[in-house]
């Protein structure tokens, strides 16, 4: 098993400084880069563990606190186990912060994250991969559309609101995406009803994007997040297999 080193890093952006976590194999060799986009609960021990697992597989992984405009992570105090039904005030606090992160700000911030990775001696030359969870899947599609020359692959898992009527809905980025896209949708997800799944599929197909969209039957919105009540072990392991396959196809 590859030894992993994890460090806190600060990334200058056009609007301030984003705190982030960097995980990479311990030998210091430049590795293909992966930008990991958080769910609503943000940068915390579980996401660091996910980054470490990707680093063990041979990648340099950056996990930015995308809510940095509202403070360093954790932006809100979180329990070790997150059950939104038991602690509704957590999501009530986070929801307006989520809404404030527009597509325009996301693409601008992504430019800073991608520049930082491009300049890092720990990231191999060439485009990077993205993986995003819940709201992070939305950020990943916006980023891939906004920086097509820098993104070679996109994984998105239990994403919500990916094909809405909004002018900046993520599915509208498809015409600009050059990366391969894999999306693992949660089953019976109120944030991504069947009509949005179909609209997203049609947008990717029409744009000629290499893509796979799969519904994980029985898995709830949030199924990859082991520190939450939505966690589904079978769905999470299926996600790891799909993501690592995507990265292997992309980087060899």
Which tens digit of pLDDT belongs to each residue from 34-89? 999 999 999 999 999 999 999 999 999 999 999 999 999 999 999 999 998 899 99
pLDDT of residue 48: 98
Q: Which two tokens stand for residue 191?
A: 């944030």
pLDDT for 145 beyond 80:
yes
Alpha helices in the chain (DSSP H): 45-56, 88-100, 103-119, 135-146, 194-206, 233-251
- Choose the catalytic residue: 147, 158, 211, 221: 221
Report the percentage of the chain scoring pLDDT > 70: 100
Annotated catalytic residue 147: no
Q: Among 147, 189, 232, 239, which one carries the catalytic annotation? A: 189
Sheet strands side by side (includes 16-25): 4-13, 16-25, 60-64, 33-37, 128-133, 151-157, 180-186, 211-216
Domain ranges of the chain: 4-251
Q: In the annotation, is 189 catalytic?
A: yes
pTM above 0.95, yes or no: yes
Among residues 134, 158, 185, 239, the one annotated as catalytic is: 134
CA distance 133 to 233: 15
- Rounded CA-CA distance 93/215 in Å is 29
Q: Tell me whether residue 158 is one of the annotated catalytic residues.
A: no
pLDDT computed for residue 2 by the predictor = 76
Q: Which residues pair with 5 in a beta bridge?
A: 24
Beta strands at 180-186 and 128-133: parallel, antiparallel or unpaired: unpaired
| Topology (CATH level 3) of domain 4-251 | Rossmann fold (3.40.50)
Q: What is the pLDDT of residues 169-204, one digit of tens each?
A: 999 999 999 999 999 999 989 999 999 999 999 999
Instruction: Using the Cα atoms of residue 17, residue 23, residue 24 and residue 28 in order, give the sign of their dihedral.
Output: positive
């Amino acid at each position: 098993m590859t030894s992993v080193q994890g460090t806190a890093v600060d990334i200058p952006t056009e609007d301030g400084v984003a705190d982030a976590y960097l995980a990479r194999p311990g030998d210091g060799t430049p590795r293909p880069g992966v930008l990991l986009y958080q769910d609503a609960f943000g940068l915390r021990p579980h996401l660091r563990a996910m980054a470490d697992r990707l680093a063990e597989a041979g990648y340099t992984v950056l996990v930015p606190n995308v809510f940095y405009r509202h403070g360093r992570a954790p932006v809100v105090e979180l329990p070790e186990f997150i059950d939104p039904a038991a602690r509704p005030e957590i999501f009530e606090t986070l929801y307006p912060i989520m809404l404030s992160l527009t597509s325009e700000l996301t693409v601008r911030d992504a430019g800073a994250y991608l520049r930082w990775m491009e300049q890092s001696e720990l990231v191999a030359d060439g485009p990077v991969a993205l993986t995003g969870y819940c709201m992070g899947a939305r950020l990943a599609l916006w980023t891939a559309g906004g920086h097509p020359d820098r993104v070679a692959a996109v994984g998105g898992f239990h994403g919500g609101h990916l094909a809405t009527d909004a002018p900046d809905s993520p599915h509208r980025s498809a015409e600009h995406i050059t990366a391969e896209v894999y999306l693992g949708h949660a089953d019976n997800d109120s944030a991504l009803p069947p009509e949005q799944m179909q609209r997203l599929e049609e947008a990717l197909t029409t744009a000629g994007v290499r893509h796979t969209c799969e519904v994980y039957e029985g898995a709830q919105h949030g199924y990859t997040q082991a520190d939450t009540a939505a966690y589904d072990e079978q769905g999470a392991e299926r996600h790891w297999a799909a993501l690592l396959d995507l990265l292997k196809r992309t980087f060899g």
